[in-house]
Structure 1
């Protein structure tokens, strides 16, 4: 048996950032490690420039996701003002950019993607190097220091995260816990109201059999979502494992 901290994420809009090049700002279908670390950090009151507490949080937890619904994709069109490149001039912050002389300001076009009405379950456990406790994290999620949001500040949660600690024999058991329905009187009504798909996606770290002891049907890939330096937005790689399961089999 292992103790997990389990909570859910739901919002009309969420954006789980992926590698962004040029004017396109895509979103993944479910939150990665960096997004969950950022959410926990906001709840704890860890500031972006606090390298030591960022490291402490990053090294303390393992994370897994159950995607009950990816939601639908929405693309938002933007115009953004940025200063033109100038030799020997460095803009270190957005404030610096907006303070540049108007004559050197250019306008670029961009698009930002969001997931609408997505629903995810998150399970967190402690690593052998942990300097935090699940009790600390649970308390922080119930009374967060900073406002929580799902990827961007325009995406606050639309339902209680309902965090709880409980011991389970397997990681999948933790991810399959039931929460009070977001709408309707029971899980079936919630499924119909939110148009939940016929399959769910499990994503986790560790090894291929960490979900339930069975490596069958598991795929893996290298993802770059391990926060290394939040001030510089630097991320490192990790191995992520995934399995797609029909909803009637997801517990």
Structure 2
């Protein structure tokens, strides 16, 4: 049995971003490997310039997702007249300065952003190798005590509940997701890495969700499976972590 960290991704608005096209910010049904890497890196206090740390963490992550509530899609039309002296909020605690030529401020910025409304997703992840830093325990502690504010995909998507659910011992990622606590005994949608469990009638996909953290570009393909399956009674190795102090 291998230990997996269970994470709850729940918020009024969630953005599992996909390939952006011009001014359209699209979303996927399941979170990307790069999004989980960035979320954990932010909790640990890493900066975008920590390329080696982020690339190393992303390469070690083995993760899958169970949709406890798929929510519904919401399309947001955004327009803003931005001036050269305007600044934006960041998780670094310092305002972000605007950049661009004089002509870039003459017209309003128009863009469309899709969101998941009322989505509730459970993530199971482990690290390979497991004994390198950061460990699962260090990641769980950072998620409970993040160095900076956390968000699920985009800055407006602030978690509405504790991210850390607990640890579970399971043979693979799908087994961990099926044995994780469930609100009921119905069937759920899953996405998990190929060779990390099987479900009848699962479909195989290749997704591009790994980021080169130095260039900021996504590339390569990751083999995953998607399917619907039942919840399995939690095993004896399921353990929750101590609650945060009030």
Q: TM-score, normalised by structure 2?
A: 0.79
Hey, which of these two has a bigger chunk of helix by percent? Answer: 1
Q: Shift in Å at residue 158 of structure 1?
A: 0.4
SS at match of 1:46: coil
Residue 10 of structure 2 is aligned to residue 10 of structure 1: yes
Structure-1 separation of matches of 2:145 and 2:165: 11
Structure-2 separation of matches of 1:95 and 1:159: 33
Consecutive unaligned residues in structure 1, runs of 5 or more = 84-92, 180-186, 192-197
Residue 175 of structure 2 is aligned to residue 173 of structure 1: yes
Structure-2 separation of matches of 1:68 and 1:129: 27
SS at match of 1:17: coil
Partner of 2:216: 233
Residue 188 of structure 2 is aligned to residue 200 of structure 1: yes
Q: Shift in Å at residue 46 of structure 1?
A: 1.5
Partner of 1:119: 120
Aligned length: 217
Change (3 A) 1:65 1:103: closer
Q: TM-score, normalised by structure 1?
A: 0.77
Change (3 A) 1:112 1:169: same
Select which of 153, 156, 172 maps to 1:154.
156
SS at match of 1:141: helix
Hey, which of these two has a bigger chunk of strand by percent? Answer: 1
Contact kept, 8 Å, 2:66 with 2:177, in 1: the verdict is yes
What is the RMSD computed on CA atoms of the aligned residues? 2.5
Consecutive unaligned residues in structure 2, runs of 5 or more = 84-95, 233-246
**Greater alpha carbon shift after TM alignment, 124-133 vs 35-44:** 124-133
Q: How does 1:7-156 map to 2 (within 5 A)?
A: 7-80=7-80, 95-97=98-100, 100-101=101-102, 105-128=106-129, 131-132=132-133, 133-156=135-158
Structure-2 separation of matches of 1:60 and 1:20: 26
